């Protein structure tokens, strides 16, 4: 094969995919899809189609360009009918709307769960019959806004770390008040040092703990009310008293626990390595 019989080098056709020339297959269809000249100018239509398929990896809208001269290939499709064109548009609209619709489904589910939780809580706190009659007598709009407020408020309330605030005040002022020193002789007056702040864990476990604590509170409040304030006749008052008592006692215990840990941390001692020798102080 010599180029001599071609007046113009560009007329010599050799496919850059399969390397076959015009003489190898006289029926094949040729295309010169880019700015390239010379040996990469011509390519078989079918070879290039296969090559484009490979580059597009199943997404027929991907643009494909010549790897040498970077010219984008011009891919021509047959005209589409009116029906197909309408369907294509609908498909695109549905694709855009679906994420919003799915978010709506999720938000609706959450809202409905919150409404249900609120209603169950009302019946738990007021008693089954009284709770039902109160809700039936209420404006539906008030219920639709008020009931989901119940779990929201419980969770928001749980996020207020009032124990930490009291603890801070305690550590700041307790050394100055002699009565407190007398009542808690084992406290911060004896601290060997100020320990490092322990990290306020905001990890996933802490979040699930907050959520569970908030949502179980009405049940605990009802139980505590029945145990501690059995002589109170009003369901609501008894549960409220039970809830306040539980939160107060738990808070006090938590403050005590944290302060004890703080004092232990402050008074820790690092020992000599060889325990047979006396501790050097």
Of 260-279, which residues contact a copy of itself (CB under 8 A)? 260-261, 263-265, 267-275
- Residue 6 near a copy of itself by CB under 8 A: no
Exactly one of 2, 4, 60, 276 binds a copy of itself (CB under 8 A); that residue is 60
- Residue 95 near a copy of itself by CB under 8 A: yes
Question: Closest CB to a copy of itself among 67 and 234?
Answer: 67
- Residue 4 near a copy of itself by CB under 8 A: no
How many CB atoms within 10 Å of residue 21?
13
Using the rule CB under 8 A, give the single segment among 103-111, 136-144, 176-184, 229-237 that binds a copy of itself: 103-111
Supply 150's token pair.
Answer: 């119940």
Q: Phi first, then psi: what are they for 21, rounded to 5°? A: -100, 175
Q: Give Cα 114 to chain centroid, integer Å.
A: 19
- Residue 57 near a copy of itself by CB under 8 A: yes
In whole angstroms, the minimum distance from the beta carbon of 11 to a copy of itself comes to 11
* Coil, strand or helix at 223: helix
Using the rule CB under 8 A, give the single segment among 108-116, 124-132, 220-228, 233-241 that binds a copy of itself: 108-116
- Residue 81 near a copy of itself by CB under 8 A: yes
Q: Quick check: 125 and 222 in contact, CB under 8 A?
A: yes
Using the rule CB under 8 A, give the single segment among 73-81, 137-145, 162-170, 171-179 that binds a copy of itself: 73-81
Q: Give Cα 63 to chain centroid, integer Å.
A: 35
Exactly one of 180, 211, 241, 255 binds a copy of itself (CB under 8 A); that residue is 211
Q: 107-120: buried (b, 16+ CB within 10 Å) or exposed (e) per residue?
A: eeeeeeebbebbbe
- Residue 7 near a copy of itself by CB under 8 A: no
Q: Can you name the residues that pair with 65 across neighbouring β-strands? A: 72
Question: Closest CB to a copy of itself among 216 and 244?
Answer: 216
* Coil, strand or helix at 11: helix
- Residue 82 near a copy of itself by CB under 8 A: no
Q: To 10 degrees, the CA torsion angle through 217, 221, 227, 230? A: -170
Q: Phi first, then psi: what are they for 258, rounded to 5°? A: -65, -40
In the region spanning residues 225 to 264, those forming contacts with a copy of itself, defined by CB under 8 A, are: 253, 256-257, 260-261, 263-264
Question: Closest CB to a copy of itself among 161 and 268?
Answer: 268
Exactly one of 195, 220, 226, 245 binds a copy of itself (CB under 8 A); that residue is 195
In whole angstroms, the minimum distance from the beta carbon of 196 to a copy of itself comes to 4
User: Which long-range contacts (C-beta less than 8 Å, at least 24 apart) are formed by 237-246?
Assistant: 239/124, 239/125, 243/217, 243/218, 246/217, 246/220, 246/221
């Amino acid at each position: 094969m010599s180029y001599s019989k071609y007046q113009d080098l560009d007329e010599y056709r050799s496919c850059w995919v399969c390397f076959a020339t015009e003489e190898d297959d006289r029926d094949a269809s040729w295309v010169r899809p880019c700015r390239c000249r010379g040996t990469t100018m011509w390519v078989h239509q079918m070879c290039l189609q296969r090559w484009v398929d490979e580059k597009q990896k199943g997404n027929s809208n991907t643009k494909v360009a010549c790897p040498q001269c970077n010219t984008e290939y011009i891919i021509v499709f047959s005209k589409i009918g009116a029906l197909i064109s309408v369907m294509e548009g609908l498909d695109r609209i549905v694709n855009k709307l679906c994420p919003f619709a799915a978010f709506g489904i999720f938000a609706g589910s959450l809202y409905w769960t919150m409404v249900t939780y609120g209603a169950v809580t009302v019946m738990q706190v007021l008693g089954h019959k009284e709770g039902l009659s109160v809700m039936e007598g209420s404006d539906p709009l008030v219920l639709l806004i008020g009931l989901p407020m119940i779990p929201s408020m419980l969770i928001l309330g749980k996020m207020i770390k009032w124990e930490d605030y009291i603890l801070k005040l305690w550590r700041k002022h307790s050394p100055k008040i002699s009565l407190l020193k007398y009542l808690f002789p084992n406290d911060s007056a004896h601290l060997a040092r100020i320990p490092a702040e322990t990290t306020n864990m905001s990890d996933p476990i802490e979040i699930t703990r907050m959520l569970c604590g908030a949502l179980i509170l009405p049940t605990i409040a009802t139980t505590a009310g029945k145990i501690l304030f059995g002589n109170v006749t009003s369901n609501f008052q008894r549960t409220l008293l039970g809830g306040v008592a539980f939160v107060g006692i738990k808070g006090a215990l938590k403050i005590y626990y944290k302060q004890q840990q703080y004092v232990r941390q402050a008074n820790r001692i690092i020992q000599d390595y060889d325990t047979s020798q006396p501790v050097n102080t």
